[in-house]
């Protein structure tokens, strides 16, 4: 086993979630590789520090807030549908001829076109296609609702509610700019370390977005928690984001920088160079 393979199994080794054969192979590699052994020891200490953090309990008002938001969303969707229907009716009225003879002829033409179109679509569109369209529409509505709930809960004073908000990103397949900007703001400003760590993990799944990558790079000098700093180093190494080197070098100049964090950053700069 080489250094790269050992680093890829670091999380499994720390959480004791790898087979015994893999653990023995890593232990054998660590016995002969001082650099990896030092990296594993530092990561193990940080892992233990993170394990000692208290887990916030869900607030009792969370269920009530959820159903309140759900009802608000339903009312919004219903109002939008009614407004859309009224708009179409007004457009049809504007196009409607004023004379009765023209109205009759126009109605017959519309009826004929409707019958032909219905017959044409019934012959060519299988029931499964229409069913799939309904599923896609429902899925899009659910995605929008999740995004609305996430954005609302991120402003909640309770850390447990904000953690719940970030967890919704696992079910949001296509986050818009408003969602990613809200996550970046939470990463930079949230007073709770747990929330910032979970937010960083959520942002990694959107790392294909250049805007998210740039936001992560800009966030580096704003992090003061040792655990968040180490997590940021792991993310930048995983993404091979070389623009982070400049930010890491600024962090090394900070007064009172944790020794473990300093060693981690130096190793990350080495990996990215």
* Rounded-to-integer distance, Cα 202 and Cα 205, Å: 6
CB distance 140 to 132 below 8 Å = no
Closest CA to 172 of 147, 153, 197: 147
Token representation of residue 12: 């499994």
pLDDT the model gives residue 102? 47
List the Cα angle 63/68/72 in 5-degree steps: 150
Q: pLDDT (tens digit, 0 to 9) for every residue of the chain, 273 residues total?
A: 677 777 777 666 666 777 777 778 878 887 888 887 777 777 777 666 655 655 555 555 555 666 666 677 667 766 666 666 566 556 655 554 444 444 445 555 555 556 555 555 555 555 555 555 655 565 666 666 777 777 777 888 888 888 888 887 877 767 788 888 999 999 999 999 999 999 999 899 888 899 999 999 999 988 888 999 999 999 999 999 999 999 899 888 888 888 888 899 999 999 988
* Rounded-to-integer distance, Cα 62 and Cα 236, Å: 34
CB distance 190 to 199 below 8 Å = yes
Q: How many CB atoms lie within 10 A of CB 256?
A: 5
Closest CA to 155 of 109, 195, 97, 202: 195
Report helix, strand or coil for 191.
Answer: coil
Helix/strand/coil (H, E, C) string of 198-229? HHHHHHHCCCCCHHHHHHHHHHHHHCCCHHHH
Q: What is the DSSP string of 241-270?
A: -TTHHHHHHHHHTSTT--HHHHHHHHHHHH
Q: What is the DSSP letter of 197?
A: H
Closest CA to 7 of 37, 52, 47: 37
The phi, psi pair for 19, rounded to 5°, reads -60, 160
The pTM assigned to this predicted structure is 0.51
* Rounded-to-integer distance, Cα 27 and Cα 163, Å: 35
Non-local (6+) Cβ contacts of 182 within 8 A are 150, 151, 154
pLDDT the model gives residue 177? 87
pLDDT the model gives residue 116? 57
CB distance 153 to 187 below 8 Å = no
Token representation of residue 51: 């394990």
pLDDT the model gives residue 114? 60
Token representation of residue 33: 């590789």
Whole-Å CA distances, 95 to 58, 89, 91, 113:
56, 10, 6, 17
Token representation of residue 166: 């970030």
């Amino acid at each position: 086993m080489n250094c790269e393979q050992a680093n890829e199994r670091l999380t499994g080794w720390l959480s004791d979630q790898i087979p015994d054969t893999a653990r023995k192979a890593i232990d054998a590699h660590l016995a002969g590789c001082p650099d990896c052994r030092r990296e594993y020891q530092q990561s193990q200490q940080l892992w233990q520090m993170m394990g000692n953090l208290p887990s916030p309990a869900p607030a009792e008002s969370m269920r009530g807030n959820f159903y309140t938001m759900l009802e608000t969303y339903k009312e919004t969707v219903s109002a939008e549908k009614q407004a859309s229907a009224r708009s179409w009716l007004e457009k049809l009225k504007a196009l409607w001829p004023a004379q009765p003879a023209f109205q009759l002829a126009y109605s017959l033409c519309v009826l004929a076109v409707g019958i032909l179109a219905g017959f044409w679509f019934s012959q060519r569109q299988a029931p499964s296609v229409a069913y799939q369209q309904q599923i896609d529409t429902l899925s899009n509505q659910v995605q929008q609702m999740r995004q609305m709930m996430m954005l609302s809960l991120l402003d909640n004073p309770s850390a447990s509610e904000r953690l719940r908000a970030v967890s919704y990103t696992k079910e949001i397949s296509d986050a818009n700019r408003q969602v990613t900007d809200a996550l970046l703001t939470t990463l930079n400003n949230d007073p709770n370390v747990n929330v910032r760590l979970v937010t960083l993990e959520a942002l990694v799944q959107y790392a294909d977005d250049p805007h998210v990558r740039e936001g992560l790079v800009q966030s580096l000098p704003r992090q003061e928690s040792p655990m968040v700093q180490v997590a940021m180093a792991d993310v930048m190494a995983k993404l091979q984001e070389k623009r982070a080197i400049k930010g890491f070098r600024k962090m090394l100049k900070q007064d009172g920088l944790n020794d473990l964090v300093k060693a981690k950053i130096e190793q990350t700069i080495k990996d990215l160079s």
